[in-house]
Structure formats: C-alpha cells, structure tokens
A and B are shown apart, each in its own frame.
Chain A
Amino acid sequence: MLIINCPLCGPRDHAEFTYVGDATKNRPKNGDSSNDNAWYDFVYLRDNPKGLHEELWQHSFGCRCFVKVLRNTLTHEIIATGMPKDNLILKEKGLELNV
C-alpha cells in the first residue's frame, strides 16, 4: 500500500485516491491549429520512466482534489506531493531523474 500525503487532508491510504497517470503530459491548447503529432503524443505516448515519475491522483474519497505525486516507480518511495500547478521535479531538483 502507498500512503499519499494529500496536501490538504494529510497522509491517506492510496485506496482513497484514483490514479490518473503521467502528470508531465501537456494538453495542446484547444484553440491552436490542430497538430496531430502533439495530440498523438498527449493522448498515447508515455515516458514510462523506471525511477522518478511525476503523476496525478485524485483524492476521490476525500477532498476530491487532484494531487501531484513524485514517486519512484522502482521502489514506490514517494518523494513529494503537491497541487497540480506545482512542478515537483523542479522543487526536488538535484534528484537524479532515473534511479
């Protein structure tokens, strides 16, 4: 089990959250002239790193906030959590990005 520290509610079992996925994907601006590759990349392609992974969870049984989590996919260690706008990787810079 993972214990995720919700920035608002505090540490909770991951069973209270719904996993959304890779938080580093940028959605192409809705307005922009359709760039197929950008959309293909956003919807389908993943870095799928073995090591640090910045991901989104929704605290669906709690405050319903979307929470950003920086987690090591090899050890499951959670390095940091924050709100969607936070850039955890920058925050934790100095961390080697592939463990």
Chain B
Amino acid sequence: MTEVNTSKNSLRRQSGLAHVINYGQFGNVTLNGPSLFICERHPLTILQLDTNKSKTLTDISNLLNVEFPHTNTCNGDDKRRILWLGPNRWLIVEPEHECLQTLINNEFNSSEVFLTDLSHGKSTVRLRGRNARDVLMKGSGVDWHLNSFGADYCAHTKLFDLAATVDCRDIDVFDIYIARGFAEDFWGTLVDAAAEFGYQVD
C-alpha cells in the first residue's frame, strides 16, 4: 500500500526500506491465508509540533481540523493523524502533499509554535492482522492487550531494542515509527518475528 501523493519530489524520494522490501507471502502461511499483513507507509509528512499555548493549540487544531490528543492517545485518520509525543509535544502525520510546515508557519508566530520536520527521519511500517499483537508482544513489555491498548492509543516504547512509536489505528492495525537508519534491520527482525504466523507484504 502506498499513499497517493502529488509531491514534485515524490519520484526521487527514496524510502529507508527501498532495498529490503519483498512483496508476497512468507512464513507459515496456512490454507486460511496469512494472518498478518505488513506494508510500509511512504512517503509521509511527519511534523513535530511543540507549544505550551493552549489557545494556539485550539487554533491549530481548527486549522488542521483534528483535535490534539491527550496523553498516550491519537486522533484523526489516514489523511491526517495527530499523535501525542510528550508534554506539549505532538506528531502530525499525513501523506505527503502540500507543505504542512509552511501552512502552519504562515498562520502562527514561530516563538509560540515550534515545528520540526521529521518526515525523512522516521520509517513507518503498518502491521495488520489477527496476530499483530502477538508480534508486538515479542518485542516490547507494554501491555498490548486490547483492553489496555485499544484503537487510537499510542505508545513510545522499546520495540525489539529500538525506540519506536506504536499507533493503534484499529483493533488489529498498528502503525510503527522507527528511526530511518535502523529501518532495514527493524524490517528483518519484524518479519522474522512474524514468520511463525505467516505474513503477506503488500
């Protein structure tokens, strides 16, 4: 799955996973088909926003028309998603199209809102399927049980020994953000952990 995008640079924008992804079905795929689906989300605009001005925050959320989420949660959809990162710090994610940064900069005072573009610094993998939580359980001590980590929850954790942000998009759909430089290794570990369930890369 690749996002639609209209960026003039899209042709040259090369993902950190460009050299490792093989499409198809792998591992212990049974007659009922793979129980996991893995794909990269790319290219994305990923913008970190810092501000401690609640007024400003409301204005921005009006501009983006997505509410800023509270601790450990996310709001929005695939078109535009906001993740809680830390105190007064959020991550805005959307498929690359317009320059979100300028959009905000034009509206707001740079001494109140601090933006940092991380679009290229993170690789994003979507993990989907009935065994998705089992894979996460192999790599991190967070309680991934549906009752404690449902839809629109997010966690910043140590996943397979890497700093990762996990966004629960839906009951069995997870977006995982990790540092670009580790993307190839992370991919290898992830599919190795997924092999016993059988997975499909699209």
Is any CB of A less than 8 Å from a CB of B in the complex?
yes
- Name A residues whose Cβ lies closer than 8 Å to a Cβ of B: 8-10, 12-13, 15-16, 60-65
Cβ of A12 and Cβ of B85 under 8 Å apart? no
- Given contacts A8-B87, A13-B141, A61 and B72 within 8 Å (CB-CB): no
Cβ of A63 and Cβ of B87 under 8 Å apart? yes
Q: How far is the CB of B30 from chain A (nearest CB, A)?
A: 33
Cβ of B86 and Cβ of A8 under 8 Å apart? yes
Report the contact-size class of chain B (Cβ under 8 Å from the partner).
10 to 19
Task: Tell me the interface secondary structure of chain A in the complex.
Answer: loop
Q: Bound state CA distance, A65 and B87, in angstroms? A: 8
Q: Chain A: which residue is nearest B154 at the CB level?
A: A9
Cβ of A12 and Cβ of B72 under 8 Å apart? no
Cβ of B72 and Cβ of A10 under 8 Å apart? yes
Cβ of B87 and Cβ of A62 under 8 Å apart? no
- Name B residues whose Cβ lies closer than 8 Å to a Cβ of A: 71-72, 85-87, 141-142, 155-158, 163
Other than the known A9-B156, A64-B86, what 13 A-B pairs have Cβ atoms closer than 8 Å? A8-B72, A9-B155, A12-B142, A15-B141, A16-B141, A16-B157, A61-B156, A62-B155, A63-B85, A63-B86, A63-B87, A63-B156, A65-B87
Q: Chain A: which residue is nearest B142 at the CB level?
A: A12
User: Can you pick out 16 interface pairs between chain A and chain B where the beta carbons lie within 8 Å of each other?
Assistant: A8-B72, A8-B86, A8-B87, A9-B155, A12-B141, A12-B157, A13-B141, A16-B158, A60-B163, A61-B156, A61-B158, A62-B155, A62-B157, A63-B85, A63-B86, A65-B87
Q: How far is the CB of B140 from chain A (nearest CB, A)?
A: 8
Q: Bound state CA distance, A12 and B143, in angstroms? A: 9
Cβ of A15 and Cβ of B86 under 8 Å apart? no
Cβ of A61 and Cβ of B157 under 8 Å apart? yes
Q: Which residues of A contact B142 (CB under 8 A)?
A: 12
Q: How far is the CB of A16 from chain B (nearest CB, A)?
A: 5
Q: How far is the CB of A18 from chain B (nearest CB, A)?
A: 11
Q: Which residues of B contact A12 (CB under 8 A)?
A: 141-142, 157
Q: Which residues of B contact A65 (CB under 8 A)?
A: 86-87
Q: Bound state CA distance, A64 and B85, in angstroms? A: 9
Q: Which of B71, B85, B87, B158 contacts A15 (CB 8 A)?
A: B158
Q: Bound state CA distance, A9 and B149, in angstroms? A: 12
Q: How far is the CB of B183 from chain A (nearest CB, A)?
A: 17
Q: Which residues of A contact B156 (CB under 8 A)?
A: 9, 61-63
Q: How far is the CB of A1 from chain B (nearest CB, A)?
A: 8
